[in-house]
Amino acid sequence: MRTRPEIVPFDEMHLAGAARLLAERHRAHRLVEPGLDPRYEAAEAARAEIEALFGSDGASGAAAIAGDRLDGFLLGRPREASWGPNVWVEPAGHAVAEPELVRDLYAAAAERWVADGLTSHYAVVPASDPALVDAWFRLGFGHQHVHAIREARPAGEPSEPPPGLVVRLASRDDLDALARLELALPEHQALSPVFSRLPLPSLEETRAEYDADFDDPQFTTYVVERHGEIVGSAVACPVEVSPAHTSLARAPGAGLLGFAAVLPEARGSGAGRLLGETVLAWARETGRRWVVTDWRMTNLLSSRAWPRLGFRPTFYRLFRAIP
């Protein structure tokens, strides 16, 4: 009968074993999603990510020791105060020999976090491992956010715009419409069932930001018109500019569908899908093999539209609030 590992505080002596486990986890993940970064299949690169997390202010965690072998680790760290009193378990912050171990590791690590008043817990977990996701669910976590990937649109793939819709590159003449669309997404996410609590900027502030950034060559903005009126927009850019798609969750060299919104009165017209297909075509035309995006799981529009367009989850951001 195999003895359960001993759970101890994570320490520098655990780095080598943690790197081995993380590299193994990522290697298995890339068998499902080869667009993820191959560097982290090497223990040296995996260790560098873990060391960076462990060296962060306020980082702490737990390790599972079985004799002279490390069977699991979990590291969390606080992030900016806008998330409240929080701890994040990042993509490189956990790996286990068996999924059930994550429950023991979290139990040990979270005791300190809650004692320190850090009661909002986030974990970014590979979507390719349903047993691991289930173990987090059985800790009281739920889906909050999805990171996803798909291939750029193959050459010659047909894409006829729905009747009445035209997609084109945006111009400075479109700034007023772009600002309105920039607000349409957070306005939607403030409603049920997302209930986002982020404050909404004013239309004037949003337009000023668009005006300042519009000529940045990293970003390509499209608009879709319905009978001559702009009803939707999308932004395509390199994934490297994204603060969310980082570390093991990044697909190097991919394109990013960084933003898309359609005005409420035009939803259901096919405008969103047309914008998504346009970004897929942009990725192919700029020599990119992959396109990534992300969305709130409780945003019913996004969580249906993007999987229908072929995006597959790579990581889930899970959340638990401690009362």
**Residue 155 confidence (pLDDT):** 54
**Residue 312 confidence (pLDDT):** 97
CA distance 232 to 234: 7
**Residue 2 confidence (pLDDT):** 59
- Single pTM value for the model: 0.94
**Chain segment 274-304, per-residue pLDDT in tens:** 999 999 999 999 999 999 999 999 999 999 9
CA distance 42 to 23: 6
User: Residue 198: pLDDT band by 50, 70, 90 thresholds?
Assistant: confident
CA distance 117 to 290: 40
User: Residue 123: pLDDT band by 50, 70, 90 thresholds?
Assistant: very high
**Residue 210 confidence (pLDDT):** 87
Q: Flag the least confident range among 70-79, 152-161, 198-207.
A: 152-161
**Residue 156 confidence (pLDDT):** 54
**Residue 160 confidence (pLDDT):** 79
CATH dotted code for 151-312? 3.40.630.30
For Cα atoms 317, 320, 323, give the angle at the middle one, nearest 5 degrees: 160
**Residue 57 confidence (pLDDT):** 95
Q: Do 6-140 and 151-312 have matching folds?
A: yes
Q: Tell me the CA distances in angstroms from 266 to 67, 101, 241, 258, 278, one per residue in order.
A: 61, 47, 30, 20, 18
CATH dotted code for 6-140? 3.40.630.30
Residue found under tokens 């009165």: 265
Q: Tell me the CA distances in angstroms from 233 to 173, 294, 315, one per residue in order.
A: 14, 16, 26
What integer is the mean pLDDT of 37-45?
98
How large a percentage of the chain has pLDDT more than 70?
Answer: 98
Indicate the domain borders of the chain.
6-140, 151-312
**Chain segment 131-164, per-residue pLDDT in tens:** 999 999 999 999 999 999 999 977 555 567 888 9
**Token pair belonging to 58:** 């306020």
Residue 291 pairs in a beta bridge with 150, 255
